[in-house]
Amino acid sequence: MSLNSSTFLNQESHQKLKRNFECLKNSQQTTSSLQDNPLQNLQLASQEVLEKAQKSGRSKCPRCNSSRMFYCYSCYVPVETVPTKEIPVVKLPLKIDIIKHPNETDGKSTAVHAKLLAPEDVAIYKYPCIPEYEEKRHEIALIFPGPNSISVKDIVLHLQKDVKKNVSCGRDDDSSAEPCLKKTKIETKEEDRNLSEYKSNSWSGDTVLKKVIFIDSTWNQTNKIITDERLQGLLQIELKTRKTCFWRHQKGKPDTYLSTIEAIYYFLVEYHQEILGENYKGQYDNLLFFFSFMYRLIKTAKYSAGKK
């Protein structure tokens, strides 16, 4: 091999190493950036209205005249300096009930974000004043971890199983009704086919799951609500493990304990992918419209104060 060829190969090798180093460096910078602000890739509406409101300070609630920042957490409406028309509206694929613990501080709760951004699909109830779910429990699920909780992807099969059980076992006190039979392989195939049909018809309104319930309280307060007889027998769903970005971290609890609005958002993303069977393209990102802005404000303030 000639000297020129050897020199050329060395230069080519050097350039390749340099490119690999740059790629690694960029990758590390991206990872670091995502760790600093994991919410930065959300597809959000312009937050200019919030930036202006933040600079002008607290404003009056148009309903109760209380002084608030961004929105009134009692009336579930934006303040006067935040025009309603500049707040995004999110359409959800199902209804959401949020049950608030009576001792949960309204001003610290993120549940109001869901009501502000999806007003047609979200209802908030203060415990113990909650709806009766008995007659429609086959259409409702409760988001709460537990020994009998299932994953989002298993929702359809469990609800269909419950409906079939109700029909075949005849809950009409008919003593002549035949006992339920063990599920056969044919029935399993039918469930698989039903799951496929469910995914293809979900947006038409023919969904099995109609409503999802979230509990808004600290983890130490949840027992009073979760043991309420009106919530017994509901299908319980546990979300995938994710780290919270909530700035009011519960002392002594792991960082996988999500705020209410985070839990709602992540459930809907999973539901969209696993049940509706569609690629997620940011359809529910605006549910974090207020949350992401406040997260950024607080993160910036902490850095300015020398905290991380």
Q: What is the DSSP string of 31-50?
A: HHHHHH-TTTT------HHH
Question: Whole-prediction pTM value?
Answer: 0.76
| DSSP-derived secondary structure letter, 3 | H
Q: What is the tens place of the pLDDT at every residue in 197-256?
A: 555 544 444 447 999 999 999 878 899 999 999 999 999 999 988 888 876 666 666 677
The fraction of the chain above a pLDDT of 70, given in percent, is: 69
What is the enclosing helix (H) or strand (E) of 78? Answer: strand 77-78
What's the pLDDT at 220? 80
* Lowest-confidence segment of 38-42, 87-91, 99-103, 129-133 by average pLDDT: 38-42
What is the enclosing helix (H) or strand (E) of 97? Answer: strand 95-100
Residue of 106, 59, 45 whose CA lies nearest to 284: 45
| Confidence at 159, pLDDT banded by 50, 70, 90 | confident
Q: Hey, which CATH number is domain 94-168+187-275, 1.10.287, 3.40.1280, 2.30.110, 1.10.260?
A: 3.40.1280
Radius of gyration of the chain (CA): 25
CA atoms within 13 A on the CB side of 275: 24
Q: What is the tens place of the pLDDT at every residue in 133-143?
A: 988 888 999 99
> Which of 9-18, 90-99, 137-146, 247-256 is the most confident on average?
90-99
Please write down the HEC assignment for all residues of 56-68.
Answer: HCCEECCCCCCEE
By the 8 A CB rule, do 96 and 143 touch? no
Residue 173, Ramachandran bin (φ over 0: left; ψ between -120 and 50: alpha; else beta): left
Residue 306, Ramachandran bin (φ over 0: left; ψ between -120 and 50: alpha; else beta): left
